[in-house]
Amino acid sequence: MKYSLKKLFITMTLLILLLGYLFYNGYIHLNNPTLEEFPIRGIDVSAYQGNIEWDKVKNDGFKFVYIKATEGKDFTDSTFVVNWENAKKVNMKRGAYHFFTFGSHGTEQAAHFINVVPNEEDCLPPVVDVEFGGNSSKIPSKELLQKELRDYIYRIENHYNRKPILYVTYEAYEAYIMGDFEEYTIWIRDVIKFPYIKDNRSWSIWQYNNRGRVNGISAFVDLNVFNGNQMEFNKLVNDT
């Protein structure tokens, strides 16, 4: 009996270690939205993903990509231009995103994004990433952040003639967005479960995994789904 319990303990320990290894390395994940429910899939990338073989990404079934362009008032992602051009070559629908920092004015950040990202047709709306992770430790008040974010959005919307999408974590949404900015589409991050926003607000894009594996990319990749059918996706691309 003691031998059997010891053998069972060793077996269970090895199984747990194996599952941990597979989860950590992105081979299994908690969320697994089906193709039937979410047929339109995408990724978001930055310099972290390194050199990308876009033909392999496209052949892996991904239809859209959001590419990091800028951060704050003066940081430009080193791979934005090459990713922007190469994604177009394989006919992937693409959009650019900006990481909104707490340490500079919205007008400055908008000017930087506009200086970097071309105003082209047949692209996804620009995205502004609002979150605490990786941001300044000096957390602004709700009133101040909303003022700076509105200044940013106003300039982006006027330049591109598109309403930007707001990428948010639950924490950032509840602190700054909830009950306001209702005319803007939400891109929600939830890598644990199916997304649920506290005030039942709808969302258009769901980032369901931050350690995805994609052919043509050696690093982990954020995986996303669009909440709608092809006609609705086309409308998101073409709306002005």
Secondary structure (H, E, C), 31-72: CCCCCCCCCCEEEEECHHHCCCCHHHHHHCCCCEEEEEEEEC
The encoded tokens of residue 72 equal 């704050």
The average pLDDT across 198-217 equals 95
| pTM for the full predicted model | 0.89
Topology of the domain covering 37-238: TIM Barrel (3.20.20)
Tens of pLDDT, residue by residue over 68-110, are: 999 999 999 999 999 999 999 999 999 999 999 998 999 999 9
CA 194 – CA 81 distance, rounded (Å): 33
